[in-house]
Amino acid sequence: MSLKGLEDTGEQENESVQIVFVEYMDSSIGDSYRYLTLKFVRQENEWKVQFYGTGG
């Protein structure tokens, strides 16, 4: 499994965007890789998921 997009976010302003990609193996579909993409937006001093999706 690999995780991409997580870097030191430090102090971010509201409305900042962070995109995270997760690569993982799904043995239920023949040991192929799947991908999860998450888009986070900083709102009211919290990170909130604005979008997520999977693909193969």
Return the domain boundaries, the chain. Answer: 2-7+15-55
Identity of the amino acid at 42: R
Joined together, the tokens standing for residue 27 give 């043995």
Q: Residue 40 burial by CB count (10 A; 0-12/13-18/19+): exposed, middle or buried?
A: buried
What pLDDT does 4 receive?
62
pLDDT at 6: 60
Give pLDDT tens digits for 6-55.
666 567 788 888 888 888 887 777 778 888 999 999 888 888 999 999 98
> Up-side HSE of residue 44: CA atoms within 13 Å toward CB?
1
